[in-house]
Amino acid sequence: MREITLTLEKMAHGGEALGYHDGKAIFVGYAIPGERVVVEITEEKKSWARGRLVDVLEPSPERVSPLCPYFGRCGGCQWQHINYEAQLRFKREVLADQLARIGKLEGVEVRPPLPSPWPWHYRNSVRFIVTPEGMLAFQALRSRETVLIEECYILHPLVEEVLEAMELEMPRLHHILVKVGVNTGEQLLILETGGKEAPQMELDIPVSCVLLPPSGPPLILAGNDHITEEVAGRPYRISALSFFQANTPQAEKLVELVAEFLDPGGEEALLDGYCGVGLFGLALAGKVGKVIGVEINPFAVNDALINAEKQGVENAVFIEGAMEEVLPGLEEDIDLAVIDPPRTGVEEGALQQLIRLHPRKIAYVSCDPATLARDLAALVKGGYEVEVVQPVDMFPQTFHIESVSLIVARNG
């Protein structure tokens, strides 16, 4: 392996710093733009290469000492070596760069990210690999290897409490998941196993527990098969197999932004695409005439229906199915839309159907700048303008970038 010396220029999507050597782009993890570094080339292609940081000859003033002893081996965090204010600045720059390069969207207003009130100990859920020896581990960065973990500095204390209270005999156990309600104190332990045999388990605190066999529904071992979380005073049931935002205080900011951007007048039909347990649609139900939620996960649809009943919402319907399959059958005139797709973005067929329905405003909640840029470009081509993009830092100490974009129909 050869070593080179270079000065890093900017942060790339994916969390690595980027510099150039002999005209070739070099990506370097755990480095910071502005630093002069020694790098060992570990992967090389025709126009780019990836290097391992060997030495920092001229450190950035934004470099700090990571808290976690596993940092640099564990794949969970990539930016613990960067002070938090600089992390926010880099996320804005990366997001703007992706919009310009991939989406060809020049001049879009990308606001400074809304910082997390908790830069540490914020995650309300976690998924561990269980090793053959019964130890808890995370995936190593860019590797299939695992890193044994005894403590994680981004987990909420309620998650850590479950892990500390847990004693398991874990034959054939593949993964464990923990979900907690930060504002309710509820805790759920989820066991993924290769069979239907329940492991031997002792817990020193009252925690709900379910078993996820290779097929079929979750099996309740103790308590309930769900937790309840509160966001902006509203209760949301979240089942073992339902998605929910991992940073509860920032989820509330997402809800506030969607309401602010869409600014409903009271009678509109609102499409809530990829609605999950109904976080956005139910929060806006009292401000619109009707909510139509679409979600492919049957467990999340069931949660959304129960959440609507608990919240006294009577003007919301939830349809189980993929967006690209459900939207062609919608006959209602859609005035407003909020979409919160997975990291892969909106499926092309669903995007074209959304353009056909032509809501006058769309709030796009994204967790990936690259797919966001791709989808925004398609919406612009379909008759929309991107008014503003507001990042919300859901994942401090990592490169992941959450954002809410306001997209408005050009013909109003």
* Interacting residues of 331 by C-beta distance below 8 A, sequence separation 6+: none
End residue of a domain, out of 170, 199, 229: 229
Residues 50 and 186 in one domain: no
- What does the block give as tokens for 73? 């081996």
Is 366 inside any structural domain?
yes
Residues 335 and 281 in one domain: yes
Buried b (16+ CB within 10 A) or exposed e, 230-258: ebeebbbbbbbbbbbbbbbbbbbbbbebb
Residues 252 and 388 in one domain: yes
d(CA 118, CA 114): 12
Is 319 inside any structural domain?
yes
CATH of residue 9's domain is 2.40.50.140
d(CA 27, CA 48): 8
Is 81 inside any structural domain?
no
**Measuring CA to CA, which residue among 269, 265, 262 is closest to residue 364?**
262
Is 80 inside any structural domain?
no
| Successive 10-residue mean pLDDT values, the chain, 412 residues | 92 96 95 97 93 96 97 94 98 97 94 98 96 87 86 96 81 88 97 75 82 86 95 96 97 98 96 98 98 98 98 98 96 96 97 97 98 98 97 98 97 70
End residue of a domain, out of 229, 259, 289: 229
Length of the chain: 412
Residues 282 and 151 in one domain: no
Q: What is the count of structural domains for the chain?
A: 3
Residues 260 and 401 in one domain: yes
Residues 204 and 311 in one domain: no
Residues 106 and 253 in one domain: yes
Contact predicate 143/155, CB 8 Å: no
Residues 324 and 299 in one domain: yes
Separation in Å, CA 37 to CA 49, 70, 77: 15, 22, 21
Is 84 inside any structural domain?
no
Residues 282 and 366 in one domain: yes
Is 360 inside any structural domain?
yes
Is 73 inside any structural domain?
no
Q: Which amino acid is residue 307, in one-letter code?
A: N
Q: Identify the domain containing residue 221 by its residue range.
A: 125-229
* Catalytic sites, residue numbers: 367
User: How much is the pLDDT for 143?
Assistant: 80
User: How much is the pLDDT for 171?
Assistant: 62
Is 72 inside any structural domain?
no
User: How much is the pLDDT for 198?
Assistant: 67
Residues 212 and 334 in one domain: no
Give the model confidence (pLDDT) of 187-199 as tens digits: 999 999 876 666 6
Burial of 43 (0-12, 13-18, 19+ CB in 10 A): exposed
Residues 112 and 166 in one domain: no
CATH of residue 218's domain is 2.40.50
